[in-house]
Chains A and B, each alone.
Chain A
Amino acid sequence: MLSAVLIAFAFALGAPFMKRLAGDRAGWWLALLPAGLTVWYLSYLPSVAAGESIREVTAWVPRLGITLAMRMDGLSLLMALIVAGIGTAIVIYAGGYLKGDPKLPRFYLILLAFMAAMLGVVTSDDLISLFVFWELTSITSYFLVGYKHESAGSRASALQALLVTAGGGLAMLAGFLLIAVITGSTSISALLADPSMLLASPLLPAVIVLIAIGAFTKSAQFPFHFWLPNAMAAPTPVSAYLHSATMVKAGVYLLARLAPVFTGEPVWVWLLTLVGATTVVVAAALALLQRDSKALLAYSTIVALATMVMLIGVGGEFAGGAVVVFLLAHALYKAPLFMVAGSVDHEAGTRDVTALRGLGRVMPITWATALVAGISAAGLPPLFGFIAKEVAYEAFLGAIPWLLLPLVAAGAVLLMVAALVAWRPFVGREVMAPRAVHEAPFAMLVGPAVLALAGLLFGLAPGLLVDGLLVPAAVAVIGAPYTFYLELWHGLTPELGLSALTVALGLLLSWRWIALNAGLRSRFEGSRTGPAGAYQAFADGLVPFAEAFTRRVQPQDLRLHLSIIIGVAVAATGITGLLMGTLVLRVAHPIGYFYEYLVVAVAVAAALAAARASSRLVAIIALGVLGFAIAILFVFFAAPDLAMTQFLVETLIVIIVALVLIRLPRGSLRERGDRTARLVTGVIAVSGGLLVTSLMLTVTLEPLDLRLADFFAAASYPSALGRNIVNVILVDFRAIDTLGEIAVLVVAAVGVYALLRRRASRSEPMGAGPPRATDGEGEGT
């Protein structure tokens, strides 16, 4: 089964070449892939019908226990057949629909890649590999929705679809990983076989909600429904395939797949039924506002998906059976309706149902197809859609009857949509359309016609499918053995009564549609409220917010950077020290000679002078004095070599900086920074000084560990043949440090050279002289 997916991916990569070889007939050749896959999947029918489920495990990331396991049972087979079967029709149809489009090779590549990924989703038996394929469907959908990327609208719709579905995908991933953390496995089969660990976990509600968010975004459930109508920016074959028949059903598939685990959990039941019911109402209401045939179909798709979500939430045998019947019926009527709408758009030049009349005369085959599919969509006998609606009503009647209230209302809207797409544009004495209309080409007729006829066939003879495919699929959703049969006529039941009510309401809606639509549009058109408005606010607001945020966190002034950084260092260390009680200001040997205090006084005075200086030169000289004072302290404490180094460094720094300052424009240090800024800097500086002093004192209170010093003293002459221990440390014990420092000096020299070279080669002045990037020699031992 993995090989089927991989072959499909490989075929996708080769699709652009097929276009080059076969030209306009490429669609027919490429359709061999989904057609072949359909046949191949059909070969599983006997074993699946016998109740088996076939599992293949391919290792992927053994360390994480993640496999590319694939499983074929009734539900997977049903979905795989829908994906491959409708895919065949779509690939052929697209060849006609996009004929002559220079981007067609890319289109085929992405479309077939989507198909491969979708097959992966419905046959994966590992949560993580399912997620991988799931995300691939989101990404391919992004490129297909944005196919007409020259238009800003298409780009925005593509991005919206991606962000919503990928965002939900991330929630779903978190849910999957929680399952992995709780149960220690990512295998779906293992989870279905023994969900006890998961069910016992206090995190179960979180798992359910996270996974449901993923499914809801993908299947366009409220409040994430808004992306789907916008995704109609995609070419119609894409809308028919991804956004009605397959990808949007991935969410439903996932919920159905995991239903045996969660059915009966209160969070699961209420989340799914309430979200589903809300979605049904919202989408049905929004459908009343539409005139565009694809938009009408999109909202009716949302209603259908929500119905399935509700059925899964209700759970139980009837609902399980109803889900799979509804799933197939919807795929069989919605895809052809989309293709019909696309054909009309293609030939007549508009999708506005108010602008089209009488097309049945010039597009008879298209109309016939539309009628058959439309009757099924309206839930009328003798089509398969009728049976699906009946069993759904039956399932709700037996479980949570009040859920039928929104469903019946929505059923009426579905009938209205079917009438608007399959009836209204085709009837009438005269042809009314923006341009001269002809029947669609053969490639655009055959696919939808076959699918619509399949709906008729299964309506007349539902027994063809039940035992072989639908019962095993229902068993997978229910998680327990179950059998049922389907009939077109099963007596005067309450369901039939509800159907009659639905039809009556639907006919009423269709009859009064023009007035109703116009009235509603004048009220609500263009209002941006609800989730769609929230997304828009997010999309519009993100960049301004980010800009304001950036101005706050990324100041331009270097001195401010330094204040913040040093401030953070002092605060982080200081607060930690206070919390840990490690900051002391106790001195180990408090007595000192008076001349030591004198030198310290000089150092303090110099520091104050530097801080208060208004001229740069005074400041740098004051710092020099401070450095010298410290060097004198080194002399007092028997470190003459250190003192010598310090004297040299201080002298050089004062001289060099003074030289640089001469070239700078004259200015006072006081000009920049107001009083508060100076005060803050002062506080940071003083606390920094206190902090380091205190840490030094704390450290000196600890006994000094002289292992290294003793070793150096002992080994310097006998082993390293040097009398000067410091020298030996620098060139032998720690020679690699010195090597590094030499490299630093060399690079600094190269840098200065490069800078001077530039200055020599062009006259542009570059502000300050050569940057002094070298630090002092830092031999810390």
Chain B
Amino acid sequence: MSALVVLPVVVPLLAAAVLLLFRGQREFQRVLATGATALLLVVSAVLLAQVSAQGILAVQLGGWQAPFGITFVADHLSAIMVLITAVMALASAVYALVDIDPEREASGFHPLFQVLLVGINGAFLTGDLFNLFVWFEVMLIASFVLLTLGSSRAQLEGGIKYVSVNLVASMLFLTAIGLLYGFTGTLNMADLAVVLPEHDAGLVTTIAMLFMVAFGIKAAVFPLFFWLPASYHTPPIAISAFFAGMLTKVGVYALIRTFTLLFVADVGYTHTILLWIGGLTMVTGVLTAAAQNDIRKILSFHIVSQIGYLIVALALYTPLALAGAVFYLVHVIIAKANLFLIAGITRRLSGSFDLRHIGGLFQHAPFLSVLFLISALGLAGIPPLSGFWAKLLVIAAALEAAQWWVTGVALAVGLLTLFSMTKIWQYAFWSPLTNGVVLAQRPSRLLYAPTIALALLILLLGLWSEPLIALSDAAAAELLDPSRYVQAVLGPATSDVGLGAGHAPVAGGRP
């Protein structure tokens, strides 16, 4: 069953290869891309089920036992992230069938999207620090090209900011890896978790700061978030939505992973810094969002704000808080991406993303209004939607840890989030149409399908949160007890799976 661990990378990788080969065949590409993404969803669901049933799964790639080769590891956190990636990927892929123009398809949208999935899933599943860097690079290049696909001036301008800042993050990440390798001689994260406590805690903490900044850029925390609102509103909505949902969360994932598994030598220092970063990120994001009038920009700044909650949850570093972080991750990915998708339909109906030119949608598109409300109120944490439980867990954890100011900030930011969401509602849906248009033509059902599915998910996770809370609890328990991760990776070899069929492991001589 361990082959399952690599499938979330293999499926999109193969799909990308085939899609590149059949570049000219538009219909074939559309069918294959959607099918591969659907298959990814199945594979990811099976993976999470397996992890739930059997505990952490590890596979030594090429059969080289850790720490010498590269290990792929699926614990609850990884498996949950992989599954939610697949859910969002399928939603975006279906939406993209209408949203992405033939020109972009011919330029390689479908294979690029699959490569992006390869990078994201690789990052979630790898147990090797340098390999994580490689997947970050795969993600970065794929997202950069997707971001600029179409080459409008705004896209290139946003794209350059995106790629420059992210390359700085890569450089810092690589420097930090080099330094860490310099005195530990290993890259395997489980192995690092074992050897790091033997080294000078001060040095480890100093290098940890480099990782914190590098991942902080990826996660778009204060004061490193500039690239996100400068770029996310430029590409077509199907791409924006997926980026908005997933990309920063890979940075958050990396922060969670490294600051629970590796850099816990001086939690009082590192996690206090994270707490401040989280608090400032929440406030900055929500205030900057209040200044915007373009729906996509409002939503983009809110991504930053929501990242703050995740960082705060990580910083609190308690079982409840980490469970909250995991639940929050899943919730915010769905809610945020769906708001982008809905904004895309709004734009098709009204011809604009600018709130000052939109109106009357409650009257003309009541169904869309309901979809928007579910997602927006969900994001604002109104019960009984998914965001309520996410906020409840984080705030309860903050109270439990007696972190009063963070509690206060989290609550106030929640209120301002509600303000931002009602701003969109009041302008686009409630206010009478003044100088805009409502197109008579109905947007394709294919655009609605993913938004309906995601809205239902938001509702379901709110009404019946128990299963996800149970999974989040399990993830948190694993994160706070790294020995389970270490044992899964360094313990008795779990398998001997090669990547390709032609790569038969050589018997004998293995450590």
A residues lining the B interface (CB < 8 Å): 60-64, 106, 128, 131-132, 135-136, 139, 142, 146, 149-150, 152, 155, 159, 162-163, 166-167, 170-171, 173-174, 177-178, 180-181, 542-543, 545-547, 549-550, 553-556, 558, 561-562, 564-566, 568-569, 572-573, 576-577, 579-583, 692, 695-696, 698-700, 702-709, 711-712, 715, 718-721, 732-737, 739-741, 743-744, 746-748, 750-751, 753-755, 757-759, 761, 766-767, 771, 773-775, 778, 780-781
Contacts and interface: CB of A to CB of B under 8 A. Distances in A.
Contact of B205 (A576, A720, A741, A778): A576
Contacts of A132: 383-384, 388
Contacts of A554: 226, 229-230, 288
8 contacts: A181-B399, A558-B161, A568-B224, A702-B200, A708-B68, A739-B499, A743-B118, A778-B133
Contact of A582 (B103, B200, B407): B200
B351 interface: no
A159 B426 contact: yes
B419 A755 contact: no
Given A705-B183, A781-B130, A580 B430 contact: no
Contact of B419 (A542, A549, A754): A542
A572 B185 contact: no
Contacts of B510: 719
A67 B67 CA distance: 47
Contacts of A757: 106-107
A580 B202 contact: yes
A781 B187 contact: yes
Given A135-B382, A572-B209, A740 B149 contact: no
Chain A interface, DSSP helix/strand/loop, else mixed: helix
B506 A720 contact: yes
Contact of A750 (B111, B153, B422): B111
A96 B193 CA distance: 72
B411 A719 contact: no
A773 B163 contact: yes
Given A132-B388, A736-B499, A576 B206 contact: yes
A171 B411 contact: yes
A152 B434 CA distance: 13
Contact of B137 (A62, A556, A740): A740
A747 B112 contact: yes
B170 A702 contact: no
B51 interface: no
A110 to B, nearest CB: 11
Contacts of B226: 554-555, 561, 564-565
B13 A743 contact: yes
B250 interface: no
B223 A553 contact: yes
B85 to A, nearest CB: 17
A542 B416 CA distance: 10
A754 B200 contact: no
Interface string B110-149: 0110010011001000000011011101101110110011
A757 B62 CA distance: 39
A673 B163 CA distance: 22
Given A61-B465, A565-B165, A543 B291 contact: yes
A177 B392 contact: yes
A180 B68 contact: no
Question: Closest 10 A-B residue pairs measured CB to CB?
Answer: A705-B185, A580-B202, A751-B145, A740-B134, A546-B290, A754-B107, A702-B183, A699-B182, A546-B291, A149-B430
Given A707-B186, A751-B144, A773-B163, A573 B383 contact: no
A715 B509 CA distance: 7
A550 B144 CA distance: 25
A117 to B, nearest CB: 10
Which of A155, A695, A759 has the most chain B CB atoms inside 10 A of its CB? A695
Given A695-B179, A737-B70, A771-B148, A748 B141 contact: yes
B177 interface: yes
B239 to A, nearest CB: 13
Chain B interface, DSSP helix/strand/loop, else mixed: helix
A582 B204 CA distance: 9
Contact of B138 (A166, A565, A712, A747): A747
A150 B206 contact: no
Contacts of A705: 183-186, 195
B227 interface: yes
Nearest to B288: A550
A60 B466 CA distance: 7
Given A719-B510, A746-B115, A755-B148, 10 more contacts: A64-B392, A135-B382, A163-B419, A174-B407, A572-B212, A743-B115, A773-B140, A775-B167, A781-B130, A781-B187
A181 B400 contact: yes
A546 B415 contact: no
A170 B131 contact: no
Contacts of A740: 119, 122, 131, 134-135, 137-138
B431 A155 contact: yes
Contact of B145 (A63, A181, A702, A754): A754
Contacts of A562: 164-165, 168
Contacts of A171: 411
Contact of B153 (A556, A564, A751, A766): A766
A101 B306 CA distance: 40
A774 B20 CA distance: 19
A210 to B, nearest CB: 10
A3 to B, nearest CB: 16
Contacts of B426: 149, 155, 159
A149 B431 contact: yes
B251 interface: no
A280 B123 CA distance: 61
A136 B384 CA distance: 8
Interface string B257-271: 000000000100100
Contacts of B138: 740, 743-744, 747
B473 A63 contact: yes
Contact of B68 (A142, A692, A715): A715
A157 B186 CA distance: 62
A556 B229 CA distance: 10
B396 A181 contact: yes
B399 A780 contact: no
A250 to B, nearest CB: 15
Contacts of B135: 740
Contact of B151 (A549, A715, A755): A755
B150 interface: yes
A558 B414 CA distance: 31
A719 B174 CA distance: 29
Which of B138, B224, B383 has the most chain A CB atoms inside 10 A of its CB? B383
Contacts of B150: 758
A759 to B, nearest CB: 8
Nearest to B67: A708
Contacts of B70: 733-734, 736-737
B271 to A, nearest CB: 13
B160 interface: yes
Which of A712, A753, A778 has the most chain B CB atoms inside 10 A of its CB? A778
A163 B415 contact: yes
Given A162-B418, A740-B138, A565 B224 contact: yes
Contacts of A162: 418, 422
B8 interface: no
A38 B178 CA distance: 73
Contact of B172 (A177, A569, A778): A569
B469 A139 contact: no
A573 B137 contact: no
B430 A139 contact: no
B364 interface: no
Contact of A573 (B115, B209, B290, B392): B209
A751 B229 CA distance: 22
Which of A63, A577, A711, A766 has the most chain B CB atoms inside 10 A of its CB? A63
Contacts of B130: 734, 737, 780-781
A775 B167 CA distance: 8
A708 B150 CA distance: 45
